[in-house]
Structure 1
C-alpha cells in the first residue's frame, strides 16, 4: 500500500509542477479545481484523498463489509491506473526536455 501512496502523491506533484509551469493541463475534469487553489491546501486535500482511496478498502475488509477478492481487484486497478498516469507524466517530461534541449 505504501507504493500506491507514493504513486498517488507522485502524480499530484508532477501534475502540479506541469500545470504551474504551463506545460500541461489537468485532464480529469473532476480534479481541475484542486490545481486552482494554493499548493498547501491542495496538498492537504490530496493527502486526505490518498488516505481514503488506499485505506478505506482495508477498513472495509477488516469490518467484513467487502470480500478480500474485491479489494484485491480494486488495488490491481488502482496500481494499473497510476502506472498509466505516471507513463503520461514521463511522456510530457521527456517531450518537454527534448523541446528545450
Structure 2
C-alpha cells in the first residue's frame, strides 16, 4: 500500500480503537454483572477483594477487549479494502 493510503487509513484505525474500547467496556460491564452478580468489577486498588477476584476480572476484561478490538479493526480494514482496493496492513 502506498504511504498516502496508509495515512488515510490511520484516522480510521484510531476511531476503530476508540470504538473498540467503548464497546468492550460496555460488554465487560454486562458480562461481569451477569457472572458475578455485581455492578462493578473489582480493581487492583480495592482492598475488599481477594487477589484472585481482581486477576480474574482483569483477565476477562483483557480478553473481551482484545477480541472486540480485533473484530472492529478487521472490519475497518475490510471496509477500507473494499473502498480502495488496498489492504491497510500491507
| TM superposition score category, shorter chain reference | 0.3 to 0.5
Rg: which structure is higher? 2
TM-score by length of 2: 0.47
